[in-house]
Structure 1
Amino acid sequence: MGSSRARGRLTGPVRRASAVLLAAAIGVLAPGVTPIPAMAQDDAADEGGFYAEPPPLPPGTQQPSDGGGTPQETFALDTECVTRDLEEDFELPDKPWGQQYLRIEQAQALARSSTGSAGKFRDGRRVKVAVIDTGVTPHPFLQDRLEGVGDYVKEVTPGPGLEDCDGHGTEVAGIIAANPADPDIGFMGVAPEAEILSIRQSSQNYKKDTEQQNQPPPAGDGGEEGQPEGGESSELPAGGQTNGLRGSTGPAQEGPTRQLNDSETAGNVDTLAQAVVLAANSNVDVMNVSINNCREATGQISQPERRLQAAVRYAVDVKDVVVVTAAGNTGEKCKQNDQLAPNKPRSVVTPPWFAEDVLSVAAVDESGNAAPFSVHGPWVSVAAPGTKIISLDPVKNSSKLANQMVEGGGDPMPIQGTSFAAPYVAGLAALVRTVHPDLTARQVMRRIVSTAQHPAAPGGRDNFIGHGIIDPMAALTSMVPEEEGVPPAQAKQLPSDMPPPNVRDPLPVIVAFAGAGGAVVALLIALFVVHTVRRNRRTP
């Protein structure tokens, strides 16, 4: 009997363990059943690597050289610069929806009421914003507030950085600082009194001139071993036109974000690092980088990426520059980060990956949701409008606006991309520096993040729009606790409104039941006695 009971005691736990294992197996194999939690998947893939964050910059790492702000290789024009063939002269009078959504004009009015301008410091000096891009074409809406300071593509007239064959950097600059003289034109830049410093860092219209190469590629070029590749590329036929489509430009606006992806075209991660250092050394207050490199998340960092990381850190910590960058767009070689484990992305985008030192900007559409092309990731800081963009026409000698672009030599399409969300944030940073000139670059970045319209997510942040869509009015007026020396708010366990539990004494209940039972017994006895007496009386 004893051994039988012992066996009985052992079979219970065994049966329960078997049931748990069976349920787990069913959860994995059965369709429609909840899968294994994401945190339990692909653990081996993270061994010895990193995904969500880059490795820390080694102490003492020096920033790279600025390369003299000149081309490192010889490039020749391969695809004609953007053109505009209009059948009639006209302007785009409408205000972009993003400008209205962000209440840009109210923010400008508030800045002017505080400082007298929307892009100047109180001493009259203009806020300087570097645009590291495909160059900026001089445009009447930028007046005399445009200066070219560097060109890593080709030395051209009228000056370094003042040719935009791709038609990208001019549109970015317009969102930051355009100021139309005609009051009937609705479009206006965010900081219309700021100064633009243009650095042409890349161009997909220029390719290596193999017949005139006078020096080998610098270390860290796109062909270097270990250099990640990313982004989508395509070659466009020279001489394409737009067939007179209104507000359009063409040819050669390949993709809504300029990717450092083609070893044959002008621009790579090394020249981007050099351009960041050049902008920082030009004493700018803000820099906008709508150029990036997207590649597969391999758990490694290349030497060019390391140099770019050092350049960004130098700009922020040494030169006190607010660095704003586009979060990146999806493409053939830049897969969306929609995997189950959000902190183990499929694609990594630089410089947004260096989230500790930059404001990485996602794009939202008119619904306020993340645009489908905007790359998700744990590095996304904030979001801004990135669809149906209106900005400066990048065609040389044009005084018009544009609202369409030609992508990949195909049909005209609305201007869109995280490239054009980033300059909204760069323009806001210029306004913040105007109203709050004593703040450091990191404090300006923190203010923009703190005052954004936080999503309904844990910690007020998600991987789609970061800390939320920027709020210019709040960024200019809110009290940020850390600026006042107030410690950040901490989660606190609040007392419940429910009354304390009532632990009852069982004795009164026992007494009540005993009394009731006694009364019932007494009643039964009384009934029995009465019944007996009556029966005896009837007996003769």
Structure 2
Amino acid sequence: MRTGMRRTTAAATAGLLLLTGAVPHASAQPSSSSSAAVKPNSVPPDLPPNTGPPVDKGGPDVKYERTNKGCVESDTKSELIKQKPWGQVQLNLEQAHRFATGKGIKIAIIDTGVDPRNPRFGDRVKAGGEYVFGDKNGLDDCDGHGTEVAGVAAAAKTEGDFVGAAPEAEIMAIRQTSDRFEFKGDAANPEKRDSAGKVSTLAMAIVRAANQNAKVINISLTNCGTPKGFSADDQSLQAAIKYAVDVKNVVIVTAAGNLSDKGAGCPKQNDNLDPANVNSISSPAWFANDVLSVASIARSGAVSSFSVWGPWVSIAAPGEEIISVDPKGTGLTNANVTAQGTTDIKGTSFASPYVAGITALVRQRFPDLNARQVMNRLKATALNPGNVSGKDNKVGYGMINPVAALTAVLPAEAKGFQKPEPKEMNTTVTPPPGIDWPPIIVALSGIGLGVALLMLTLFVRNSVNRRRKDA
């Protein structure tokens, strides 16, 4: 059935921040080109010691203006989608909600904003910040993308079977990007932008969310392109992530990125034989030691064809055939309707909020675990790929497993646990020993003697019996 949302203009093209969902538009964040010494391109440079987080200026870095692209409009007429999302069934969310619902946990959605009017949000959507335009502090979503992401992460169950991953979590809305705004340049900054958003303001938004006590941050956005120099903005983003995780105890969940040959995503798949030298770099997923980077899984169980691979991929979740809240109505939607046609909602953008919501469940159930311990628990309990390492570059540690994440006993979390140090094993390949003849000769001699004695016994017995018959 087609119950979706209508866009009054054609889908946007290249902008300033890649929206990794199938809202059919995307872009790369501009950043400065100053480079530094780098490791193999699959690994970001180390953050210099004592590098502090960027200062949150609390607003956009330039003055954006509205374009002639219309905002999304509801096309659902408040009707219900009767089928339960397969991803919700696959993740067994109903069972998981017996253990936790996300109550008391704040999830920051850094995206195109969140429209709070859908009844499945109740009064749980709070203004968090604005880096695009106006004074609504994230509570305006002209694009619809951020509202759909928030629905996957935290919508409550009302009519029908749909429910978000953490239906009682609080949602902090921060608008950091939009394809409905542009910057034409001015004397102070001649850099033109077809849409709103920049790596530097993404870093500020992360700091802002962390300082407002978010316990989980979802970033369904990626800056994706071919390997290049590490810019000052990149380092600012890296510092913001480190600050959020290690100082403010926040788990950051981010989309792995989408493959696209139309300038709307990562330009080339990372199918290199040498994983240390990749074709495309997806950030902030690139900062693998500090974030949970989420790949997309299809209903078949295979990794989605659009999901970008990379050594930085941490975990996977359903990212196709997505159902979420209608961003401008009271119902649900499973499609985006534009002047160019209807497209299903899919993308690593929508796999990411599944993981963000489940992270909120874990944070509620295990409040004493710090951010890194929570990330480790989610990876340790995932449905790992069947190889020696239990990890690959397509789905990371595998499909997230909410019930296991909420119930498993992990020795590594016990106080005083010491991880065993791996020991080097030296082995040599030696030929099989030669034949040892003396024992074989003794054994054969014994067998021969036994056979001779048996034959003699039979001969004597036969002779005695014959004599008796003659007598």
Q: Quickly name the TM-score band, shorter chain normalised.
A: 0.7 to 0.9
Q: Measure, in 2, the Cα distance between the counterparts of 1:362 and 1:85.
A: 29
Deviations 1:509-535 (A, max 9, x none): 679999xxxxxxxxxxxxxxxxxxxxx
Indicate yes or no: 2:50 matched with 1:60.
Answer: yes
Contact 1:133 1:168 in 2 (8 A): yes
Q: Between Structure 1 and Structure 2, which shows a larger proportion of helix residues?
A: 1
**Percent identity for Structure 1 against Structure 2:** 48
Name 2:365's counterpart in structure 1: 435
Q: Measure, in 2, the Cα distance between the counterparts of 1:48 and 1:190.
A: 38
SS in 1 for 2:180: strand
Aligned match of 1:275 in 192, 205, 209? 205
Q: Measure, in 2, the Cα distance between the counterparts of 1:304 and 1:110.
A: 40
Indicate yes or no: 2:239 matched with 1:306.
Answer: no
Contact 1:107 1:473 in 2 (8 A): yes
Indicate yes or no: 2:374 matched with 1:385.
Answer: no
Name 1:346's counterpart in structure 2: 279
Name 1:401's counterpart in structure 2: 332
Q: Measure, in 1, the Cα distance between the counterparts of 2:337 and 2:393.
A: 30
Name 1:172's counterpart in structure 2: 149
SS in 2 for 1:287: strand
Shift of 1:420: 0.3
Shift of 1:342: 2.1
User: Which residue identity is paired with 1:152?
Assistant: Y
Shift of 1:480: 1.5
User: Which residue identity is paired with 1:61?
Assistant: T
Name 1:107's counterpart in structure 2: 96
Aligned pair count reads 398
Contact 1:73 1:216 in 2 (8 A): no
User: Which residue identity is paired with 2:102?
Assistant: G
Name 1:129's counterpart in structure 2: 107
Q: Measure, in 2, the Cα distance between the counterparts of 1:328 and 1:448.
A: 20
Name 2:291's counterpart in structure 1: 358
User: Which residue identity is paired with 1:94?
Assistant: Q
User: Which residue identity is paired with 1:119?
Assistant: G
* Within-5 A mapping of 1:89-108: 89-108=78-97
Shift of 1:187: 0.7
From the superposition, tell whether residues 65 and 406 of structure 1 become closer, same or farther in structure 2 (CA, over 3 Å). Answer: farther
Shift of 1:91: 1.1
SS in 1 for 2:223: strand
Structure 1 length-normalised TM = 0.70
From the superposition, tell whether residues 192 and 450 of structure 1 become closer, same or farther in structure 2 (CA, over 3 Å). Answer: same
SS in 2 for 1:203: coil
Contact 2:218 2:353 in 1 (8 A): yes
From the superposition, tell whether residues 511 and 81 of structure 1 become closer, same or farther in structure 2 (CA, over 3 Å). Answer: closer
Structure 1: tracts of 5 or more residues without a match: 1-46, 112-117, 121-125, 224-261, 495-500, 515-540
User: Which residue identity is paired with 1:149?
Assistant: G
How large is the Cα RMSD of the aligned pairs? 2.6
User: Which residue identity is paired with 2:179?
Assistant: Q
User: Which residue identity is paired with 2:152?
Assistant: I
Q: Measure, in 2, the Cα distance between the counterparts of 1:275 and 1:48.
A: 26
Contact 2:38 2:45 in 1 (8 A): no
Q: Measure, in 2, the Cα distance between the counterparts of 1:268 and 1:415.
A: 24
* Within-5 A mapping of 1:111-510: 111=100, 118-120=101-103, 126-138=104-116, 139-156=118-135, 159-182=136-159, 185-208=160-183, 216-217=188-189, 223=191, 263-298=193-228, 300-332=229-261, 333=263, 334=266, 335-395=268-328, 398-406=329-337, 409-484=339-414, 485-488=416-419, 504-507=435-438
From the superposition, tell whether residues 416 and 489 of structure 1 become closer, same or farther in structure 2 (CA, over 3 Å). Answer: farther
Contact 2:253 2:352 in 1 (8 A): yes
Q: Measure, in 2, the Cα distance between the counterparts of 1:272 and 1:187.
A: 31
User: Which residue identity is paired with 1:364?
Assistant: I
Deviations 1:423-448 (A, max 9, x none): 01100110001100010011111100
Shift of 1:201: 0.2
SS in 2 for 1:353: coil
Q: Measure, in 2, the Cα distance between the counterparts of 1:512 and 1:283.
A: 82
User: Which residue identity is paired with 2:188?
Assistant: P
From the superposition, tell whether residues 338 and 508 of structure 1 become closer, same or farther in structure 2 (CA, over 3 Å). Answer: closer
Q: Measure, in 1, the Cα distance between the counterparts of 2:226 and 2:422.
A: 37
From the superposition, tell whether residues 338 and 512 of structure 1 become closer, same or farther in structure 2 (CA, over 3 Å). Answer: closer
From the superposition, tell whether residues 507 and 384 of structure 1 become closer, same or farther in structure 2 (CA, over 3 Å). Answer: same
Q: Could you say which structure has the greater relative contact order, defined with CA pairs below 8 angstroms and 6 or more residues apart?
A: 2
**Structure showing greater Rg:** 1
User: Which residue identity is paired with 2:223?
Assistant: N
Contact 1:277 1:314 in 2 (8 A): yes
SS in 2 for 1:448: helix
SS in 1 for 2:97: helix
* Within-5 A mapping of 1:5-16: none
